[in-house]
A and B are shown apart, each in its own frame.
Chain A
Amino acid sequence: MAMTVTLRVWRQAGPAAPGRLETYTANNVHPDMSFLEMLDVVNEDLIKAGQDPIAFDSDCREGICGSCGLVIDGIPHGPDRGATTCQVHMRRFRNGDTITIEPFRARAFPVLKDLVVDRGAFDRIIAAGGYVSMNVGGAPDANALPIPKDVADRAMDNAQCIGCGACVAACKNAAAHLFTSAKIAHLGLLPQGEAERGRRVVQMVEQMDAEGFGSCSNEGECEAACPKEISIASIARMNRDYLKAALGK
């Protein structure tokens, strides 16, 4: 049962070019199609008509690589909770719907073209301290240090972050607190990360600010948009760790 939907899509030729919403019609949309497969079909039609296809990032198409990220009708990653854009299926929409598609917007995520943004700032935040400093070769036996299951599970809850940037796109301040704090919580909960806990939080928070991300005003929009449903409890934890480390300096 094919559907027809109208798309309003953000088109922008390059970082410095002005952008605007343009309207397209997607015909023969099958409910089992993923949202990105629907865009593939629209692009095939645009190419056949000699027009420039819509540029967007995507890779694994199963919700784990973090490449894709569209704001669909105002919601980062669209209407499904706990899902990435590539996991949204057209059965979520109805025949005749108009759907607005925009990039993840933030000062720290400049648009490169159409719906493609530069999220390099996230890599730089990780480089500032989102790791355990250990070289290959020096590791003790993996079972030498038991870690309670609930601690390991909580670390994993935070480690699941896919670095997509939906938390930033959802935040009215374009803050990167959920992304940054998830890594801080993942490593800070584990004994392996304890030695650098203070240094890590200070450096990562400073890098986050330097990248031009905004402040957190505790509204929880990030948590609602997170495809991995990471809890904002990690932000409170980050703030505590930061205060402790900064005062201890």
Chain B
Amino acid sequence: MTLDSRIPGGPIAEKWDRRKFENKLVNPANRRKYDIIVVGTGLAGASAAASLGELGYQVKLFGIHDSPRRAHSIAAQGGINAAKNYRNDGDSIYRLFYDTIKGGDYRAREANVYRLAQVSVDIIDQCVAQGVPFAREYGGLLDNRSFGGAQVSRTFYARGQTGQQLLLGAYQSLMRQVDAGTVDMYPRREMLDLVVVNGQARGIVCRNLVTGELESHAGHAVLLCSGGYGTVFYLSTNAVNSNVTAAWRAHKRGAFFANPCFTQIHPTCIPVSGDHQSKLTLMSESLRNDGRVWVPKNPGDKRPPAQIPDADRDYYLERRYPSFGNLVPRDVASRAAKAVCDEGRGVGETGLSVYLDFADAIRRLGVETIRARYGNLFDMYKRITDEDPYQVPMRIYPAVHYAMGGLWVDYNLMSTIPGLFVLGEANFSDHGANRLGASALMQGLADGYFVAPYTVANYLGGTPTPAVSTDHDAFKEARAASQGRIDQVLAVKGSRTIRQFHRAIGAICWDYVGMARNEEGLQKAITEIRRLRDEFWQDVSVPGDKNNLNPSLDYAGRVADYMEFAELLALDALERRESCGGHFREEFQTPDGEALRKDDQFSYVAAWEFQGVGTRPALHKEPLVFEEVHPSQRSYK
């Protein structure tokens, strides 16, 4: 099978308009005849379901939470980018496009990224009209701040709760459609399988997490908006129920998985405090607007921070990257933090953290200004660490945060299975090897409000989708397979808990597929993952039964999928013998320790085709063609 990215022809600025014009349409009177299944209620899923409902399609929306408003988009803190140029500081659609391509270390598709930058301006208009209370200036106009990887201020924000406000905006539009009867909401449902009929995605099997019942739902198209796979590392900034299950099971039905090794390690998280820890908490990147990152110049300097004079401090980001300073992109900042800790200059009890210091900003701007900008983040930090960042510097360390990789999609956001669309973090499309701050919210809403409504219509309008009922053999087979897997995991009755296995797979991934990777470690990771997977199926202990609310059983299914997915993660990292963005292979670096790409060999999207558990997947390469931006060694110096 050859991958067809279906990028429209013509100049980059006209591609999306051209595609929208070429697209088939569905007559308003016919839309209600189409059932569209949406899985996931975060920014991508909620916005897609609301938009499609407004257009008159019949939408069924599924989410694992008790309410669509709980999806993990809610936790995004810092902001959302848009090329509005309200600051008059030289921003433009082209600049946002350029920054995103460069920030992604030239591993994203130009046409998709350009479209993202184009619709970014519409997103802000849409959200303001919904009543999203973005931060404003005294004149009443919208405020902006800067984020990493950009030298303009294009980030819109709502205190430190931008994701919450954007998700609630989408959720409210969604609930309006629920009230209008165009969207049926199915809360506390987990998708366990994709149903493919005659090569088309025609439905899902899901588990009712309250009653335990397996349910089948048929539709004319399926939109997967199920987020990223960061929790494969066990500890991450993701919500504890975030998982790869829906995406992974679609992969096992034929959807290719692209670039799984592109995972983002976020530089500013609260460090690990002990073995009991269940998740890590992000401190927004926006803090780097005013906070200065430093460590002691000399290894072993155990003085309290206030007693270390400036001369004995190393503001290593400002030193190494004078033009971007503390606002270098996330991958660069994370690696730099790891490097100083590896040199023995890390701070805190474990030596695995660096300072993020606001003393200068407080002196310059006053406590009240800092409180207005970051008060809720400072409170959150104090609550967790019992230290007051107004008095002592924060301690931060990198943590797994975002998955750039995901299911492969073409320009229309359709996967390799016709009729299966993938939106938001669950797809691979826009961020290349490293996502810039404040771009995840932008992408989720772009896909849901402004891309999928057009491309899904084109699919439905141009593809025969004969009636299918849930009595079809394909549904029966998928239901039986899901039931079989549930019965199998309950039958093991071993001696180790699911959490023990999750911690173990996470430790392998963090040690060998984390911030720095090498050939030997990745080989070892694959061996260990396979061994652990075998142990899981022989020794896991899952309490309770399948016919009621049983969070342990839900968790077991997700960890079982990670036992398979982790191997693909490591394999992709092994086979990409270059460094780029968040994927750092120790063998490939510049003399000063920066990521060294190998464009002649690896300027492609690695799309993996499932061949069976434990069998090597088939690699398909989508070459990346750069017509606008010439790939160069990324420099933030």
Interface flag for B129 (CB, 8 Å)? yes
Interface flag for B21 (CB, 8 Å)? no
B386 contact from A34, A62, A91, Cβ within 8 A: A91
B65 contacts A67, CB within 8 Å?
yes
User: In the complex, which residue of chain A has the Cβ closest to the Cβ of B164?
Assistant: A64
| Min CB–CB distance B20 → chain A (angstroms) | 12
B74 contacts A132, CB within 8 Å?
no
A59 contacts B239, CB within 8 Å?
yes
B497 contacts A47, CB within 8 Å?
yes
User: In the complex, which residue of chain A has the Cβ closest to the Cβ of B177?
Assistant: A127
B239 contacts A136, CB within 8 Å?
no
13 more contacts with CB within 8 A, not counting A89-B383, A162-B164, are: A47-B552, A52-B543, A59-B65, A62-B75, A65-B70, A66-B74, A120-B67, A123-B187, A127-B178, A139-B128, A149-B140, A153-B136, A156-B165
- Of the candidate stretches B22-30, B272-280, B467-475, B479-487, the one touching chain A is B272-280
How far apart sit A140 and B450, CA to CA, in the bound complex (Å)?
15
A51 and B543 in contact, given A36-B278, A64-B74 (Cβ under 8 angstroms): yes
Chain B residue numbers with a CB within 8 Å of A30 are 274, 276
How far apart sit A134 and B281, CA to CA, in the bound complex (Å)?
35
Mask for B318-344, Cβ within 8 A of A = 1, else 0?
000000000000000000000000000
B549 contact from A55, A131, A146, Cβ within 8 A: A55
A47 contacts B69, CB within 8 Å?
no
B75 contacts A136, CB within 8 Å?
no
A139 contacts B122, CB within 8 Å?
yes
Chain A residue numbers with a CB within 8 Å of B380 are 62-63, 87
Interface pairs (7), CB distance under 8 Å: A46-B543, A62-B75, A89-B383, A136-B173, A143-B84, A146-B140, A146-B141
Interface flag for A236 (CB, 8 Å)? no
Chain A residue numbers with a CB within 8 Å of B550 are 55
Chain A residue numbers with a CB within 8 Å of B548 are 13-14, 113
A40 contacts B276, CB within 8 Å?
yes
- The total of interchain contacts (Cβ-Cβ below 8 angstroms) comes to 218
The B-contacting residues of A in range 50-80, CB under 8 angstroms, are 50-53, 55, 57-67, 80
| Min CB–CB distance B230 → chain A (angstroms) | 13
Interface flag for B142 (CB, 8 Å)? yes
Chain B residue numbers with a CB within 8 Å of A212 are none
Chain B residues engaging chain A, CB cutoff 8 angstroms: 47, 50-51, 54, 65-72, 74-75, 84, 86, 122, 124-131, 133-142, 158-159, 161, 164-165, 168, 171-173, 175-176, 178-179, 185, 187, 210, 239-241, 273-274, 276-279, 281-282, 379-380, 383-384, 386, 449-450, 453, 497, 499-500, 541, 543-544, 548-552
| Min CB–CB distance A13 → chain B (angstroms) | 8
A59 contacts B140, CB within 8 Å?
no
Q: How many residues of A contact B (CB 8 A)?
A: 79
Mask for A107-151, Cβ within 8 A of B = 1, else 0?
000001100101110110011101111111011111101111100
B70 contacts A187, CB within 8 Å?
no
A160 contacts B499, CB within 8 Å?
no
How far apart sit A44 and B552, CA to CA, in the bound complex (Å)?
10
How far apart sit A127 and B185, CA to CA, in the bound complex (Å)?
11
Interface flag for A99 (CB, 8 Å)? no
B50 contacts A136, CB within 8 Å?
yes
How far apart sit A212 and B219, CA to CA, in the bound complex (Å)?
35
B130 contact from A57, A91, A131, Cβ within 8 A: A131
B161 contacts A152, CB within 8 Å?
no
B551 contacts A59, CB within 8 Å?
no
A136 contact from B70, B126, B241, Cβ within 8 A: B126
B70 contacts A67, CB within 8 Å?
yes
A156 contacts B386, CB within 8 Å?
no
How far apart sit A211 and B144, CA to CA, in the bound complex (Å)?
41
A160 contacts B124, CB within 8 Å?
no
A80 contacts B68, CB within 8 Å?
no
A123 contact from B75, B130, B185, Cβ within 8 A: B185
Chain B residue numbers with a CB within 8 Å of A130 are 172, 175
How far apart sit A48 and B552, CA to CA, in the bound complex (Å)?
13
B383 contacts A120, CB within 8 Å?
no
A186 contacts B131, CB within 8 Å?
yes
How far apart sit A127 and B178, CA to CA, in the bound complex (Å)?
7
Chain A residues engaging chain B, CB cutoff 8 angstroms: 13-14, 30, 32-34, 36-38, 40-41, 44, 46-48, 50-53, 55, 57-67, 80, 82-83, 87, 89, 91, 112-113, 116, 118-120, 122-123, 126-128, 130-136, 138-143, 145-149, 152-153, 155-156, 159-160, 162-163, 186-187, 190, 192-193
B276 contacts A139, CB within 8 Å?
no
B543 contacts A61, CB within 8 Å?
no
A123 and B176 in contact, given A33-B274, A62-B281 (Cβ under 8 angstroms): no
| Min CB–CB distance B329 → chain A (angstroms) | 23
B543 contacts A50, CB within 8 Å?
yes
| Top 7 A-B pairs, shortest CB-CB distance | A146-B140, A131-B172, A139-B129, A139-B125, A156-B133, A127-B175, A142-B128
Chain B residue numbers with a CB within 8 Å of A155 are 131, 133
A47 and B541 in contact, given A136-B51, A192-B130 (Cβ under 8 angstroms): yes
How far apart sit A10 and B3, CA to CA, in the bound complex (Å)?
55
B129 contacts A132, CB within 8 Å?
yes
| Min CB–CB distance B346 → chain A (angstroms) | 19
| Min CB–CB distance A79 → chain B (angstroms) | 12
User: In the complex, which residue of chain B has the Cβ closest to the Cβ of A33?
Assistant: B276
How far apart sit A140 and B453, CA to CA, in the bound complex (Å)?
20
| Min CB–CB distance B268 → chain A (angstroms) | 14
A163 contacts B67, CB within 8 Å?
yes
| Min CB–CB distance B506 → chain A (angstroms) | 15
A59 contacts B72, CB within 8 Å?
yes
| Min CB–CB distance A51 → chain B (angstroms) | 7
| Min CB–CB distance A247 → chain B (angstroms) | 25
Q: Which of B127, B161, B175 counts the most chain A CB atoms within 10 A?
A: B175
Chain B residue numbers with a CB within 8 Å of A146 are 136, 139-141
Chain B residue numbers with a CB within 8 Å of A187 are 131
B54 contacts A135, CB within 8 Å?
yes
How far apart sit A37 and B503, CA to CA, in the bound complex (Å)?
14
A52 contact from B75, B129, B142, B544, Cβ within 8 A: B544
A149 and B138 in contact, given A127-B175, A139-B128 (Cβ under 8 angstroms): yes
How far apart sit A61 and B70, CA to CA, in the bound complex (Å)?
11
B75 contacts A131, CB within 8 Å?
no
Chain A residue numbers with a CB within 8 Å of B276 are 30, 32-33, 37-38, 40-41
How far apart sit A187 and B159, CA to CA, in the bound complex (Å)?
17
| Min CB–CB distance B630 → chain A (angstroms) | 33
B133 contacts A152, CB within 8 Å?
yes
B383 contact from A13, A87, A118, Cβ within 8 A: A87
A131 contacts B175, CB within 8 Å?
yes
Chain B residue numbers with a CB within 8 Å of A116 are 549
B128 contacts A120, CB within 8 Å?
no
B274 contacts A32, CB within 8 Å?
yes
Chain B residue numbers with a CB within 8 Å of A67 are 65-66, 70
A66 contact from B54, B70, B139, Cβ within 8 A: B70
A55 contact from B179, B185, B551, Cβ within 8 A: B551
| Min CB–CB distance A225 → chain B (angstroms) | 17
A147 contacts B136, CB within 8 Å?
yes
How far apart sit A111 and B75, CA to CA, in the bound complex (Å)?
26
How far apart sit A193 and B137, CA to CA, in the bound complex (Å)?
20
How far apart sit A171 and B71, CA to CA, in the bound complex (Å)?
27
| Min CB–CB distance A188 → chain B (angstroms) | 10
A80 and B383 in contact, given A37-B276, A139-B129 (Cβ under 8 angstroms): yes
